[in-house]
A and B are shown apart, each in its own frame.
Chain A
Amino acid sequence: MSPLMMLISVLAFAIAGYVIARKRAVGMAGGDSRKLASLPGFYGQNAAYAALIPGFAVFLAGSILTRISLKNDMFGLWADLVTRLPNLVPTLAVLAAGAGLAHAIYRTRPEFRARVAAESWVMILLIAAASVAILTTVAIVFSMLFETVNFFGQYTWTEFLFGTTWAPDFRGNSALGILPLLWGTLYISVIALLFAVPVGLFAAIYLSEYAGPKLRAVAKPMIEILAGIPTIVYGLFALITVGPMIRDWLALPMGLGSSGSSVLTAGLVMGVMLIPFVSSLSDDIINAVPQAMRDGSLGLGATKSETIRHVVIPAALPGIVGAVLLATSRAIGETMIVVLGAGAAAARLNQGLGEMVNPFEAMTTVTVKIVSQLTGDTDFAAPETLVAFALGLTLFTMTLGLNVAALIIVRKYREQYE
C-alpha cells in the first residue's frame, strides 16, 4: 500500500465514519434528534476524527522510526521488518484508522456525549500544534549536538575554543580556532550597538515625550519601515554603497586600508538595521512608565529633559537593558549583512593590537563561516564541514543566554508597573 493510497483510504474512512456514525445515532434515537445527548453532527465528527488522527499519527511515527532505524542502525528489529515489508507503515496507519473508526461507531449510542468526545480529539490537535514549538527547539539542539560531537571526535575541543587561528583547509591540517571569529562577531556587534542604541533610544524618547501627533504619524512608520526591510537589502546596500564610500572617503585618505568590505561598513549598516528594533522596544517601555511619576517630577519644577533623565529613564532602565540585550542577540546572529559587508578573512589575533582593532580591515564572523563551510559541495565527514555545527551550537547558546536574560528582565519590569 503506497502512501498515496493510505491518504485516500484514511480520508475515505473519515468520511464514511462521519456518515455512518451520524446515521446510527439518529437511527438509535428513532429519528428524534432531541433524544440524543449531543447534536447528530458531533457523532459524525467524533468518528471522523477517530479515523483521521490515529491514522496520521501512526504514519508519522512509523516514518520517523523507519528513518531513524535505517539511518543510525538503531532498533534493528524494526529496520528488518521495514526492509522486508516496505508497505508496513502505511498499512499500519490504515489499520489504526480502521480501528479508531470501528471503536467510535461502536461507542455511538444516544446517551454517548459525542460533543465532549469530538472536542477532546480537537484538543489533541491543538496540543500537538503547541508542541511543534518545543519540538523545533529540541530538533535545533539535537541536529547541532550530534554533528558537534562528531566534530570533537576529530578535533580537540580545547583547540576549537581557545585556538587563535582560523585557517580551514580541506586537504587536512586545518586550524579551526573560534576566537578570531568571536572577535569579529563581537567587534562588529559593538560598533552596530554603539550606533543603534543612542540613535534608537533618543528617537524613542523624542517620539514618546516630545513629538506632536503630526511628526509622530510620519516619523514612527518611517523608522519602522527599516525593520521590515530584509537583511539581504542591507547587505547589498553595504556592498555597493556604504563599503565603497567608507573606503574612498575614510580608509584610503587616512591610509588605514583599501578593502571595500570592513568592520565599520558591516557595523554601521547593521546599526541602521537595529535602530527600529531598539526604538520600538524602548518606546513601549517608556510608555509603560506611569504618568504620575512624570507629573511628580514636573511639579517639583524639573524641566522635561531633567524629568526624562532623572525619572523616566531610571524607571525604564531594566526594560531598556532588556531591549539592548535583544538587539545584541540580533547583531550576533545577523548573517547577510556581514556576509556581504564584512569580508571573509578571519581576524589575525597574533599580528598585534593595531591590526586587530583597525575598523577598516575586513573581518569575518561566526555566521559568515557557518555559511561558507556549509555551502557548495560539502563532505559531512570532514572536520572543516562539521565545524559549522559547532559554530552553530556556540551561536545558539550565546543568543539563547541573551534572549532568556532579556525576557526575564522585561517580564520582571512589566510586573513592576502593572
Chain B
Amino acid sequence: MNTPRKGSLLVQDARTKRRNAAEARFKAYGLTAIAVGVLALIVLVTSILGNGLSAFRQTEIMLTVELPESKLDKSGTRDLDVMKKVTTLTYGPILAKGLKDVIAANGIEIEGLTAKDVDAMISKEASAQLRDRVLADPSLVGQTVEITVLASGRIDGYYKGRVSLASAELDSNVTPAQLRLADALKDKGILVTKLNPAFITAPDASDQRPEAAGLGVAILGSAYMMIVVLVLALPIGVAASIYLEEFAPKNRWTDLIEVNISNLAAVPSIVFGILGLAIFINFGGLRASAPIVGGLVLTLMTLPTIIISTRAALKSVPPSIRDAALGVGASKMQAVFHHVLPLAAPGILTGAIIGLAQALGETAPLLLIGMVAFVREYPAAYSAADGLFGEPSTALPVQVFNWTQRADPAFFERASGAIIVLLVFLLIMNAVAIILRRRFERRW
C-alpha cells in the first residue's frame, strides 16, 4: 500500500519540483534557440560591415604635375589620333616625377626610400586616369595641372588597418619606408583618405589594382537583369496564377502543374544555371555573360515564387466580390480582370518585389552562364550586334564571388563592400514591399 503523499498546494513535492524544473529547462532551450538565431544575424552583419565599410573610403594623393609636350604630343598638333598612341607607360613617369617634386618641395626625407618605392606609392591605375584626362582635354598638354590620384592598394590598406609597419617588413609589395613616407605626406595634407564614389561607379580592375576596382558594370548588369525579370516574370506569373486559381478545372493535369510549381520553387538554383547554359547558350545561340541570358534564367527561377504569392493574394479576395460581378452580368474573365485582380494587386506586387529581391541576390546559376568573366566595358542596353541586353556584363553577387577568388586581401574588403551595396538594395526592396503591404493590404 502506498504511503500518502506529503505536501500541499503550498509546498512542492519532489515530483512537482522535477516537472517544474523540466518546464523551466524546456523554456530555456527555446530562448537559447532564439538567442542563437539572433546572435548569428548580429555576428553576420557586424562581420560584413566591419570588413566592408572601409571600401567606401579611399586613400588618394594630390599632385601637381607638368604635362610636357615633348613626351605627350611630339607632333604638337594636339591631334587626338596621334595622342592616343602615347600609352600609359609614358604617363607613369610623369606622375612619379610629380610625387618626387612634392616630396622635395615639402622637405620630406625618409631613410631607405628608393626611387622605385616612390613610384610604387601611386596606383598603376593613376596613369590611365591622367591619360584619360589629357585625351579629354588636349589643351592641358604643356601646362601644369593639379590631379588627385589613387594611392596604391597597400598604402590604402595601411590606413585601413590591413597593413602595418611590421607586416610591411615581410611583404614584397610594400616597404616600411613607403609607409613612413605616406605618414609624412599625410601630415602635410597631401595624402588623404576620403569618401570614394568610384567604388559604386567605376568598372572592375585587374588583379594588381584593388584600389581602382568598382561596382559600376556589376550594378548596371544586375539592373538590366532585373528589368528582364520584371518584364517577363510578372505578367507570366500573374497570368499563370489567374488560370490556376480562377479557371483551371481540378483534374490530374492541373494537379501535376501544382506539384510541378511547388517542386520548381525548391529546385537548387544551380540546376537553373545548367538549364540556361544548355538551352539559352548552347541551343539558343545567345551570347554567354549577356544580361538577357541571366535575366531569362532568373525569370524561370522567380516564376514559382511569384506564382505562389499571387495565388495567395487571389485566394484572399472573398468570393462575394466575384459573385457580385457575375450577378450583374460580367463574364468570369471580366469578374477576374476588373474586380479580383485590382483588389489582389498590392499582394501581387509585394510578392513580385520579394521575388525580385531573391533574384537580385542569386549567384550560382549566373556563374554557369559565364557572368564571372572580367568585364570592364559598361554594357549598353541595346547594340546592333548583340541585340537587347546582349553585351557581356557581370552582376552584383557574381562580382562579390569574383573578388573573393583574387589573391590580394584588399579584394576581400571590396567584396564585403559590394555585399553592403547588395544588402542596401535588398533592404530598400523589402522595405518597399512591407510599406506596400501595410498601406494597401485589405483584410476581409
Interface residue? A396 (CB, 8 A): yes
Report whether A240 and B416 are in contact in the complex, using a CB–CB cutoff of 8 Å. yes
The stretch of B115-123, B187-195, B358-366 in contact with A is B358-366
Residue of A203, A205, A407 near B263 (CB, 8 A) is A407
B274 to chain A, nearest CB (A): 4
Q: Is the CB of B262 within 8 A of A403?
A: yes
Report Cα–Cα, A12/B358, bound state, in Å: 38
Question: Which of B30, B261, B267, B370 has the most A CB atoms < 10 Å from its CB?
Answer: B30
Interface string of B263-290 (1 = CB under 8 A from A): 1101111111111011100111100000
Q: Considering the complex, which residues of chain A in the window 91-130 have a beta carbon less than 8 Å from any beta carbon of chain B?
A: 115-116, 119, 122-123, 125-130
**Which candidate, A175-183, A289-297, A302-310, is the interface stretch facing chain B?**
A302-310
A229 x B367 contact (CB < 8 A): no
Q: Does A316 contact B (CB under 8 A)?
A: no
Task: Pick the interface stretch among B36-44, B124-132, B176-184.
Answer: B36-44
Q: Do A371 and B271 have beta carbons less than 8 Å apart?
A: no
Residue pair A202, B32 in contact (C-beta under 8 Å): yes
- Are A272's CB and B40's CB within 8 A? yes
Residue of A nearest to B248 (CB): A130
- Is A228 touching B426 in the complex (CB atoms < 8 A)? yes
Q: Would you give the shortest CB distance from A43 to chain B, in whole angstroms?
A: 15
Q: Is the CB of B362 within 8 A of A332?
A: no
Interface residues of B in 28-54 (CB under 8 A from A): 29-34, 36-38, 40-41, 43-44, 47-48, 51
Which residue of B is nearest A400, CB measured?
B263
Q: How far is the CA of A83 from the CA of B264 in the complex (A)?
A: 37
B243→A129 contact, CB < 8 A: yes
Known contacts A305-B22, A305-B27, A232 near B400 by CB under 8 Å: yes
Docked-complex contact A275 and B364, CB < 8 angstroms: no
Interface string of B12-24 (1 = CB under 8 A from A): 0000000110110
**CA of A88 to CA of B247 in the docked complex: distance in angstroms?**
37
The answer for the CA separation of A211 and B30 in the assembled complex, in Å, is 9
A230 within 8 A of B: yes
Q: How far is the CB of A142 from chain B (nearest CB, A)?
A: 8
> For the complex, is B430 an interface residue (Cβ under 8 Å from A)?
yes
Of B43, B51, B354, B367, the most chain A CB neighbours within 10 A belong to: B367
Q: Mark B223-244, 1 if CB is under 8 A from A, else 0.
A: 0000000000001110110111
| Chain A residues, CB < 8 A from B20 | 303
* Contact between A233 and B44, CB atoms less than 8 A apart: yes
- Interface presence of A17 (CB below 8 A): no
List which A180-206 residues lie within 8 A (CB) of chain B.
198-203, 205-206
* A232 B401 Cβ-Cβ under 8 A: yes
Complex CA–CA separation, A404 to B263 (angstroms): 7
Chain B neighbourhood of A198, CB < 8 A: 33
Residues of A with C-beta under 8 A to B271: 140, 144, 333, 392, 395-396, 399
User: A248 near B: Cβ within 8 Å?
Assistant: no
A276 CB contacts on chain B under 8 angstroms: 37
CB distance from A207 to the nearest CB of B (A): 7
- B257, A133: Cβ atoms closer than 8 Å: yes
| Of A129, A207, A228, A392, the contact of B274 (CB 8 Å cutoff) | A392
User: Is A230 a contact partner of B364 (Cβ separation < 8 A)?
Assistant: no
Distance of A296 from chain B, by nearest CB (Å): 18
Q: Is B415 an interface residue (CB 8 A)?
A: yes
Q: Is the CB of B239 within 8 A of A233?
A: no
Q: Is B314 an interface residue (CB 8 A)?
A: no
Q: Does B372 sit at the interface, judged by CB under 8 A? A: yes
CB-CB under 8 A for A122 and B333, given A133-B257, A210-B27, A225-B41: yes
Report how far A295 CA is from B379 CA in the complex, Å.
Answer: 63
Question: Could you say which of A130, A140, A199 contacts B267, with CB atoms under 8 Å apart?
Answer: A140
Residue contact A407 to B259, C-beta cutoff 8 Å: yes
Enumerate chain A residues within 8 angstroms of B247, measured Cβ to Cβ: 123, 126
Chain B's nearest CB lies how many Å from the CB of A315?
Answer: 17
A199: which of B36, B239, B404 is its contact (CB, 8 Å)? B36
Give, as a whole number of angstroms, the nearest-CB distance from B443 to chain A.
18
Report the minimal beta-carbon distance from B267 to chain A, rounded to whole angstroms. 6
Please indicate the chain B residues that have their CB under 8 angstroms from the CB of A370 in the complex. 270, 274, 368
Alpha-carbon distance A399/B248, docked complex (angstroms): 28
Contact among A130, A202, A230 with B257 in the assembled complex (CB-CB below 8 Å): A130
Q: Which of B325-366 contact A (CB under 8 A)?
A: 331, 333, 354, 357-358, 360-364
A335 & B268 in contact (Cβ 8 Å cutoff): yes
In the complex, A67 has a CB within 8 A of chain B = yes
| Residue from A139, A144, A308 with most neighbouring chain B CB atoms (10 Å) | A139
Residues of chain B contacted by A234 (CB below 8 angstroms):
44
B26 contacts A by Cβ under 8 Å? yes
A236 within 8 Å of B (CB atoms): yes
Contact segment of B61-69, B142-150, B203-211, B299-307: B299-307
* A239-B404, A389-B278 known; A223 vs B37 contact (CB < 8 Å): yes
Contacts of B261 in A (CB 8 A): 133
Helix, strand, loop or mixed for chain A's interface?
Answer: helix
Q: A137-B260, A225-B41, A403-B266 are in contact. Are A144 and B239 (CB under 8 A)?
A: no
> Given known contacts A133-B240, A333-B271, A336-B401, is B419 in contact with A306 (CB within 8 Å)?
no
Please name all residues of chain B whose beta carbon is closer than 8 Å to the beta carbon of A67 when the two chains form the complex: 283-285
A334 contacts which chain B residues (CB < 8 A)? 268
Residue B397 CB within 8 A of the other chain: yes
B260 touching A205 by the CB < 8 A rule?
Answer: no
On whether the beta carbons of A340 and B361 are closer than 8 Å, the reply is no
Contacts of B270 in A (CB 8 A): 333, 335, 367, 370-371, 392, 395
Q: Are B47 and A240 in contact (CB-based, < 8 A)? A: yes
**For the complex, is B412 an interface residue (Cβ under 8 Å from A)?**
yes
Cross-chain contact B361 with A374 (CB below 8 angstroms)? no
B34 and A219 contacting across the interface, CB-CB below 8 Å: yes
A388 contacts chain B at the CB level, 8 A cutoff: yes
Considering the chains assembled together, what is the distance between the CA atoms of A139 and B272 in angstroms? Answer: 10
Interface hub of B32, B263, B268, B364 (most chain A Cβ within 10 A) = B268
Q: Is B380 interfacial (CB 8 A cutoff)?
A: no
Are the CB atoms of B29 and A202 closer together than 8 Å? yes
Bound CA–CA A144/B284 (angstroms): 15
User: CB of A9 within 8 A of chain B?
Assistant: no
- Nearest residue, chain A, Cβ from B300: A136
Distance between A68 CB and nearest chain B CB, rounded to angstroms = 8
Query: When the two chains form the complex, which single residue of B274, B303, B367 contacts A136, counting CB atoms closer than 8 Å?
Result: B303
Q: Which residue of the partner chain A has the closest CB to B278?
A: A143
Judge whether B256 is part of the interface by a CB distance below 8 angstroms.
yes
Chain A residues numbered 131-154 whose CB sits less than 8 Å from any CB in chain B: 131-134, 136-137, 139-140, 143-144, 146-147
B423 contacts the other chain (Cβ, under 8 Å)?
yes
**Could you say which residues of chain B place their CB within 8 Å of the CB of A326?**
266
Distance of A139 from chain B, by nearest CB (Å): 5
Check if A46 is an interface residue, CB within 8 A of chain B.
Answer: no
B26 in contact with A133 (CB, 8 Å)? no
A226 touches B (CB below 8 Å): yes
Across the A-B interface, give the 4 residue pairs with the lowest CB-CB distance, nearest first.
A333-B268, A230-B361, A206-B30, A143-B278
A residues near B, CB below 8 A?
67, 71, 115-116, 119, 122-123, 125-134, 136-137, 139-140, 143-144, 146-147, 198-203, 205-207, 210-211, 215, 219, 222-223, 225-226, 228-237, 239-241, 272, 275-276, 279, 303-306, 308-309, 326, 329-330, 332-336, 339-340, 367, 370-371, 374-375, 380, 388-389, 392, 395-396, 399-400, 403-404, 407
Known: A126-B247, A203-B36, A407-B259. 9 other contacts (CB 8 A): A119-B331, A133-B257, A144-B278, A240-B47, A241-B43, A329-B268, A335-B270, A374-B368, A403-B266
Q: List 17 A-B contacts (CB under 8 A).
A: A123-B243, A130-B257, A132-B240, A137-B263, A201-B33, A211-B34, A226-B40, A229-B44, A233-B361, A233-B423, A236-B419, A237-B44, A304-B23, A333-B268, A340-B404, A396-B268, A400-B263
